[in-house]
Amino acid sequence: MDQLLNQEERDFAQHMRAFYRTEIPEEIRYRVAVGEELSKDDIVTTQRILNKYGYAVPNWPVEWGGQDWTPVQRHIWLEEMQLACVPQPLAFNASMVGPVIATFGSQEIKERFLPATANLDIWWSQGFSEPNAGSDLASLKTSAVRKGDVYVVNGQKTWTTLGQYGDWIFMLVRTDPSVKKQAGISFLLIDMKTPGVTVRPIELIDGSVEVNEVFFENVEVPVENLVGEENKGWTYAKFLLGNERTGIARIGMSKVNLARAKAYAAMTRTSRGTLLDDPLFSARLTKLEAQLTALEFTQLRILSTQVAGNDKPDPRSSVLKLHGSQLQQDITELLVDVLGPQGLDFIDNAATGDGFSDLPPASVDAIRDYFNYRKVTIYGGSSEVQRGIISKAILGL
């Protein structure tokens, strides 16, 4: 991408590249590079270092710890972070609830939550989806009934990512069941230690716990925990989902994985030389490289036309989500095909390094990633839903 940047931007990229490699502990970056599960501590430690230098929430208003950067600088910040295998700031804090509070919250709620959210002193969970409200999110039923100074919340959320670590949860709740479904929703912040909140883990096929169910039984929530206006939650949710989809393309991470596949292919002997000399393989690799470059250009194009301070959801983020998630899956599939049976276990690439990052010899559990990445075309709005948005909001069909 360097050739697309002006001198100032190239210097900025160089600065971020050096920063990530010197300030973020190498053992954490190593765990990202090999696809190992990160601990809560890894994520908190990284975010606090980033926050100390003003690099945790550059997308927020400057007065709350953001940076007055151009869209291209923000792109570089994220891309270099992914290329250096640095865990990204917790999305629930940095790109979801933080921007919602900063844009729609009262001064009091901003002061109360934003500094702790940027520094990951509060770990946020996202309480949107319910057993019968995923793609059709506006059908959510969890109710919040106002009684004096509190809302009494009853219902269930599901697929709550890393809810086992959550201190607080930002929720969409139904505050008015008598109006059109989108019109009766509010955005409420709930302390997960409040009596009546129960988190139940959903064990995945590999035995890990990444998602949870969260139950609410007569949970009393102070009315001052409402963000913005009552029954305007749908507007805030659309704003939040637009932000979630922009960051979800993970182009830098896909570059790392593609480079890794290439390095392994170069080591794999065939009757003609290495796998890289195989015309069918190299055509597949080239196609993925071209698609990734095209996606990066699309992201830059979108960024360059985004107006600072614009709080309207940008439907073009659906294009990034759709193609970015598909590419992440295609690239992990390529990795599995290159590694063959070796991908069933951790393999050692000590002989080659990974050909891309500066990390010490790494291994990669390709099959684990392959299965785990099935999720990326579902969360943040499934591919079918993104196509629906693109057809309506962009193509005008």
Ligand X SMILES: Cc1cc2nc3c(=O)[nH]c(=O)nc-3n(C[C@H](O)[C@H](O)[C@H](O)COP(=O)(O)OP(=O)(O)OC[C@H]3O[C@@H](n4cnc5c(N)ncnc54)[C@H](O)[C@@H]3O)c2cc1C
Residues 96-125 that bind ligand X (CB under 6 A): none
Q: Which is nearer to ligand X, 146 or 375 (CB)?
A: 375
Write the interaction track for ligand X spanning residues 161-180; mark x where CB under 6 A is met and - where it is not.
x-------------------
Q: Is 182 in the site for ligand X (CB under 6 A)?
A: no
Q: Smallest distance from the beta carbon of 157 to ligand X, in angstroms?
A: 6
Q: Smallest distance from the beta carbon of 200 to ligand X, in angstroms?
A: 14
Identify whether the C-beta of residue 78 lies closer than 8 Å to the C-beta of residue 52: no
Q: Is 128 in the site for ligand X (CB under 6 A)?
A: yes
Q: Smallest distance from the beta carbon of 253 to ligand X, in angstroms?
A: 16
3-state helix/strand/coil string of the chain? CHHHCCHHHHHHHHHHHHHHHHHCCHHHHHHHHCCCCCCHHHHHHHHHHHHHCCCCCCCCCHHHCCCCCCHHHHHHHHHHHHHCCCCCCCHHHHHHHHHHHHHHCCHHHHHHHHHHHHCCCCCEEEECCECCECCCHHHCCCEEEEECCEEEEEEEECCCCCHHHCCEEEEEEECCCCCCHHHHEEEEEEECCCCCEEEEEEECCCCCEEEEEEEEEEEEEEHHHEECCCCCHHHHHHHHHHHHHHHCCCHHHHHHHHHHHHHHHHHCEECCEEHHHCHHHHHHHHHHHHHHHHHHHHHHHHHHHCCCCCCCCCCCHHHHHHHHHHHHHHHHHHHHHHHHHHHHCCEECCCCCCCCCCCCCCEECHHHHHHHHHHHHCCCCCHHHHHHHHHHHHCCC
User: How far is residue 217's CA from residue 195's CA, in Å, rounded to a whole number?
Assistant: 8
Q: Smallest distance from the beta carbon of 385 to ligand X, in angstroms?
A: 6
Tell me which residue has its CB nearest to ligand X.
Answer: 134
Q: Which is nearer to ligand X, 159 or 370 (CB)?
A: 159
Q: Is 329 in the site for ligand X (CB under 6 A)?
A: no
Stretch that binds ligand X, among 143-151, 159-167, 270-278, 326-334 (CB under 6 A): 159-167
Write the interaction track for ligand X spanning residues 356-375; mark x where CB under 6 A is met and - where it is not.
-------------------x
Among 200, 293, 384, 392, binds ligand X (CB under 6 A): 384
Q: Smallest distance from the beta carbon of 380 to ligand X, in angstroms?
A: 6
User: How far is residue 386's CA from residue 377's CA, in Å, rounded to a whole number?
Assistant: 10
Among 69, 346, 371, 379, binds ligand X (CB under 6 A): 379
Stretch that binds ligand X, among 39-47, 95-103, 335-343, 379-387 (CB under 6 A): 379-387
Among 89, 105, 134, 233, binds ligand X (CB under 6 A): 134
Residues 200-229 that bind ligand X (CB under 6 A): 211
Q: Is 20 in the site for ligand X (CB under 6 A)?
A: no
Q: Which is nearer to ligand X, 106 or 391 (CB)?
A: 391
Q: Is 43 in the site for ligand X (CB under 6 A)?
A: no
Q: Smallest distance from the beta carbon of 221 to ligand X, in angstroms?
A: 18
Q: Which is nearer to ligand X, 291 or 382 (CB)?
A: 382
Binding site for ligand X (CB under 6 A): 126-129, 134-135, 159-161, 211, 375, 378-379, 381-382, 384-385, 388
